[in-house]
Structure 1
């Protein structure tokens, strides 16, 4: 039997050899490895079901599709699933695997049994930690034998704005080289810094347009991020810039306006039902410019809800025909990302990635095949997870330079002042200006005011080793409980360490605990570290099973329930009372944010900057 070359990753030379062989296998002139016979098969190109079909596989690829018994060649193994319906392996058009907080090989073990066989990795998380190693990191698990296909999109937001630094810098040369190195590289990750795209005076203008140019030159896809862009002139400008997609539309009207102006629309779960219902009411017939996407989901939530299969079930429950919902996670995203030669359909030449359903209407998954082999039975993952000893460039990414002390978080007042005015932000502060409060001064230091829900928030530079700390006052978040603080090394999107606390000493202790673990979470309660979660890879992920990470997170949540957390509603409906986990997203600096706190720099020594205008301001005055 002819042995195919190794196609664990995509290489043009290998691809030709594989397809030459598949051509002869399809004609029956060379033997196949497996014939998988199924009761029904969904052809996503025509949205039709075919009965009693045979999927003939050679190596990791499909060679032939047809009625059972029609294949003219020899087959080494036959598998018959008469009661199951076959649909293509599900794909993620836009996902941050880092938000599962699992390394890629353990992400595969989590999501493959839930139907997700390929992912377009939006890598501005890891890219911001170690930009130069972006491609090497995302291809390592596949090279080690993981069946999950990860198509990396290097981060456009490295750094997220021209007012941030550390962890790497990606521009024209870097993006061009990533695209040339591997066919797995699908394009450019979501362009988030809209002011830098339209405004030639912005310090990131040349860098971003350089990355866009490099992507166009290599015929990659430029993914967009149109948060807060709702007026028609801006939508037109966004599309004209070549930013091909958006996953940030909240209302049906916004979604429709962007869809009808040429954007490929990626629909996330939190508003999926509302938008699907609204589009059906508008009579939308052609859903080919729409994909269902996850964006961010923790391992704990995936264990509870599912992966891409959860998105499909939500769409079906909202009234979308199952066949259309399946197109929205298979052929639609594959076409958009220009990956149809390899994924998105059950068709010759594609990877033999097949989801077998016991019930289509409820999208109940019985088994999953990937790379021509069965990889799950129910939610049980069958292959052995490859052991990867992640190198230090991936594991030793926290470099504060020293242990921090309470003095690092103190905010001095002007001499002789009994009160000071303070610039104050609140989570998801999409306002043109910051808030201003008068705060007391004690022993020369500006104080928190828990009676008005005002506490201290900080960003700690974890890249330069200079022990640089920015700090200011925030409203409606953080602990009211004395000597308590929460710190985390996941801080979208620069991923410096953030910390919120009721005392400076507690904040220092929490940050030092995060650093000692090479990243993750740390909760200090009544002056003692009571819970930690380890993200030892890039300060974002952990190399272990999802269940083990979930258990550790539950211990953190349980410890957090003993803390009195401040709360005030804000602009974001997903900001809720209790453990303030979403503070990790409140550190975003992309549109529609205005005033933000970033790590100190020569440009903004106190770290307080308006990313729309470049204006800086003292944190107290």
Structure 2
């Protein structure tokens, strides 16, 4: 037997971007020599104190020795025996590891990865577990090409993709891709950056052997478990103990959909890792403290969905950390919930989550801990941000057609596409109604008037029309029905968008069929985004030319368009009727982009027309269909 040959330690260490095993060995061989003082370092960074996230203890007057993109050594200032090209002394600052996002849809920031980096890195985020059922539902085959390209072009943001389990979200939706065992196996084998399987959210598909998604979902789970990767979960509405235990027994490791601290404790007791989101973070932290939670090591903060506008306004995961501290969590534990805890859960601890040898030299330097005030951020071993200023160039990526030409309606829509015909000879009909965040077991019903053979809206009762347009097949298929308490009351007005979680077909909601056609055609013509129209004119647009979900431009430019849309929307009278607060609020109905979700606890939903549900109204828990009027 011959000795195993290892890569030469002089290998191109600049290739340290995708955890390639051969390069990884070469990097670590070099780090050994630097740590022992036998090879020079690039930088020695001295700080006033450093948070050891593995123990939760502060270490005073420390030096961090950096070689390439990694840490080679940490210890008391002056203890390292080697030499370095550069020394930086920042004795007044405290160092914590680069923050990580355990569960985020970057698509919901509406920025491509290279511009996402420029937004979140100054706010402390240096790594993200990208839950890719949004992009994957648009172009599943290109999932890794899309998420890894910016890093290969020099972006310091580490994106660990998790291909989507919800591709498609249910067996009753189609278009953009179909992922099963073979695809998940190939994703995991193609790159060590792939951390696992994105949130398993079709619980009926997992738990019911008769469900048409059962085999596909278990195939993806199997491929993930075979490679000892992580199966992420989405357990909204699953609150009884038998179901919680069944969810955990399936090999699904986590949940980010808890609504009470008591539910979170039940899920912790069942072995789940819990990921707390900002909309309930304060209440959850206080509740868990009141319930006596002592060990927070299986708790993290999830960004999930946050727009670039919201991040500019409040922050990224740094906002989550500040919110948790303000709710009473010890700052050291709050930092652990955004660093080492998610890194361990996602099995990434060898690369991120702590400032220690072998890990990426991603360092957040604070000038005040209690307010979590960030002075500088280092990533990949270099100073990349001061305050909220990003100091390095954003890679210029000319995204190809597979990313930019994803809206395929196939034809120009006409007002007649949105007409709902009444049965012959009727003056009134019974109509099925939905509303945003309608989680009841059955749809609503209402008698609506008929005029010239078409069923009419009823603004006096907050009833308007909502449509989903198939943007994948080129068939121009449209499903439409009446919805309650959303959309414009202003006559001849409509809003349309190409983000419709999670299948991301086009949708339009309006007070006239003409306006709905104009709004939907406007979105399709600009390759995706938002369009607000009224009186036959386009009042405002936002272009999301990448997958119909994102834009390849700075966050500030995108936010200017969002603010212009919101300003135009102030002149519209929007229908409103409470459903589930705080998810549904008066005013511009931005959250309509989430109103076509088909995951638990949704039951009756409107999806694009299919052979199974020609009118699009389907119960995604049972597969039952129903006419929209009768």
Report the TM-score, using the length of structure 1 for normalisation.
0.99
| Equivalent residue, structure 1, for 2:538 | 529
Q: In structure 2, which of residues 153, 165, 175 is the aligned counterpart of residue 166 of structure 1?
A: 175
Give the SS at the match of 1:335: helix
Matched, 1:611 2:620: yes
Could you give the per-residue CA deviations for residues 85-144 of structure 1, whole angstroms, max 9, x where no partner exists? 000000000000000000000000000000000000000000000000001100010011
1:164-203, aligned counterparts within 5 Å?
164-203=173-212
1:503-582, aligned counterparts within 5 Å?
503-582=512-591
Give the SS at the match of 2:590: coil
Matched, 1:270 2:284: no
Give the SS at the match of 1:465: coil
Matched, 1:346 2:362: no
| Equivalent residue, structure 2, for 1:28 | 37
Could you give the per-residue CA deviations for residues 530-588 of structure 1, whole angstroms, max 9, x where no partner exists? 10000000000000000000000000001111011000000342200000000111110
Structure 1: stretches of 5+ with no match in the other structure: none
Give the SS at the match of 2:86: strand
Shift of 1:147: 0.3
Matched, 1:369 2:378: yes
Are the equivalent residues in 1 in contact too, given 2:11–2:26 (CA < 8 A)?
no
| Equivalent residue, structure 2, for 1:489 | 498
State how many pairs are aligned.
Answer: 621
Q: In structure 1, which of residues 258, 265, 272 is the aligned counterpart of residue 267 of structure 2?
A: 258
1:62-101, aligned counterparts within 5 Å?
62-101=71-110
1:581-592, aligned counterparts within 5 Å?
581-592=590-601
Give the SS at the match of 2:25: helix
| Equivalent residue, structure 1, for 2:3 | none
Shift of 1:2: 5.0
Judged with a 3 Å threshold, the aligned counterparts in structure 2 of structure 1 residues 130 and 160 are, in CA distance, closer, same or farther, namely same
Matched, 1:18 2:30: no
Shift of 1:527: 2.0
Q: In structure 2, which of residues 386, 402, 416 is the aligned counterpart of residue 393 of structure 1?
A: 402
Q: In structure 2, which of residues 207, 210, 216 is the aligned counterpart of residue 207 of structure 1?
A: 216
Shift of 1:289: 0.4
Are the equivalent residues in 2 in contact too, given 1:487–1:514 (CA < 8 A)?
yes
| Equivalent residue, structure 2, for 1:225 | 234
| Equivalent residue, structure 2, for 1:322 | 331
Report the TM-score, using the length of structure 2 for normalisation.
0.98
Are the equivalent residues in 2 in contact too, given 1:4–1:59 (CA < 8 A)?
no
Question: 2:357 and 2:247 mapped to 1: Cα distance?
Answer: 37
Indicate the RMSD between aligned Cα atoms, in angstroms: 0.8
| Equivalent residue, structure 1, for 2:137 | 128
| Equivalent residue, structure 1, for 2:481 | 472
Displaced runs of 4 or more, over 4 A: 1-4
Give the SS at the match of 1:538: coil
Are the equivalent residues in 2 in contact too, given 1:428–1:572 (CA < 8 A)?
no
Could you give the per-residue CA deviations for residues 146-179 of structure 1, whole angstroms, max 9, x where no partner exists? 0000000000000000000000010000000000
Shift of 1:525: 1.2
Are the equivalent residues in 2 in contact too, given 1:537–1:543 (CA < 8 A)?
yes
Question: 2:470 and 2:11 mapped to 1: Cα distance?
Answer: 51
Shift of 1:4: 4.6
Structure 2: stretches of 5+ with no match in the other structure: 1-8
Q: In structure 1, which of residues 49, 59, 63 is the aligned counterpart of residue 58 of structure 2?
A: 49
